[in-house]
Homo-oligomer: A and B are copies of this chain.
Amino acid sequence: MQVPPPQPEDAGLLVTDAAIDAAAETIRGKVLRSPMFRSPGLSDLLGADIHLKCELFQPTGSFKVRGVFNKLASLSDEEKRAGVIAFSAGNHAMAVAYAARQAGVDVTICMPATAVAFKVQAVRDLGARLELVEGDLVARVMAIREERALTLIHPFDDPAVVAGAATCGREVIEDLPDVNTVLVPVGGGGLISGVAVAVRRARPDCRIIGIEPRDADVVTQSLMAGLPTPLSSSKSMADGLTAPVTGAINLAHIRSCVDEIVTVEEDAIAAAFVDVVRQGKLAIEPAAAVTVAAIQAGSVVLQPGETACLIMCGGNTDRLA
């Protein structure tokens, strides 16, 4: 869908350039200045200049550390002493466990009882207190937070998290100043909020497109409704993109800075996943394949010679080896 125009209150919710500058300074040395390269294999396959921004190489295997380190640094000493809590089925949980341990902050992670075993094990290995929750995950997290006076590290609905993600967009422009189109996988909307605000301010004419799985299209549904609208069911092989909610701050960034949100079918994700592994030689998780899926399905049309940047958001999967 074409993204509707911003609402009057959106402008006040956007992270500032100063906040992005500060985030870049805060997380320097803690996260990877991730490489971007032109993929000959995917460029041949897709008929355009395809550049891959490799967030899957980050510590804990996804872009999530950018926002998490930035948020953690914003806490008061008192908040750090009390500890933090997060909920997630995977990548955000791993990033919070990793960053909190580095900062010496006590960390509790709540994961759904249905989370995939290897991600649960990864969080355990990172030394977090772990609770597997049957039923309402968010309600349980809020109860623990209240009881133990913990600070919630939200996976996307937080300006510090968005400013952290925006450092990725800054790097895209630094490394590929002539980019025509930026394609970003969309779950709860944290990554695209940050990437889009940074890219849009630097390149008003760059096309910015978000892609979400058809059966996990919370941002599409929320844009249509005009406000954050939870999904009753959210399911995809791209498990990193199945957040059933988005945030007001995320919708504000998307309405202000993104051109289109498109959806892709499961079979297209499955085929694109294989192509990125075989032709792009990246051990991605399925979430990172949705950009390629959208191009292959014709939902995103690239002109020959067009320079596109695809954000390879993560690589945590047990499907490969």
Show the binding face of A for B, using Cβ within 8 Å: 32, 34-41, 54, 56-59, 61, 273-274, 277-278, 280-284, 315, 319-321
Most chain B beta carbons < 10 A, residue from A36, A40, A274: A40
Chain B contacts for A61, CB-based, 8 A: 41, 281
Q: Which 5 A-B pairs have the closest CB atoms?
A: A281-B315, A277-B321, A35-B35, A40-B59, A35-B37
CB distance from A310 to the nearest CB of B (A): 14
Chain B contacts for A58, CB-based, 8 A: 40
Most chain B beta carbons < 10 A, residue from A35, A58, A274: A35
A56 x B321 contact (CB < 8 A): no
CB distance from A127 to the nearest CB of B (A): 13
Residue of B with least CB distance to A274: B321
Pick the contact of A32: B40, B274, B277, B284 (CB < 8 A).
B40
Would you mind naming 22 contact pairs between A and B with Cβ atoms under 8 Å apart?
A32-B38, A32-B40, A35-B35, A35-B36, A35-B54, A37-B57, A40-B57, A41-B61, A57-B280, A57-B281, A274-B321, A277-B283, A277-B321, A278-B283, A278-B321, A281-B284, A281-B315, A282-B283, A283-B283, A283-B320, A320-B320, A320-B321
A34 x B37 contact (CB < 8 A): yes
Chain B contacts for A280, CB-based, 8 A: 57, 283
Bound-state Cα–Cα, A273 to B321, Å: 8
Bound-state Cα–Cα, A58 to B38, Å: 10
Bound-state Cα–Cα, A218 to B115, Å: 47
Known: A277-B321, A319-B321, A321-B277. A41 touches B54 (CB 8 A): no
Most chain B beta carbons < 10 A, residue from A34, A281, A321: A281
B281 x A281 contact (CB < 8 A): no
CB distance from A60 to the nearest CB of B (A): 8
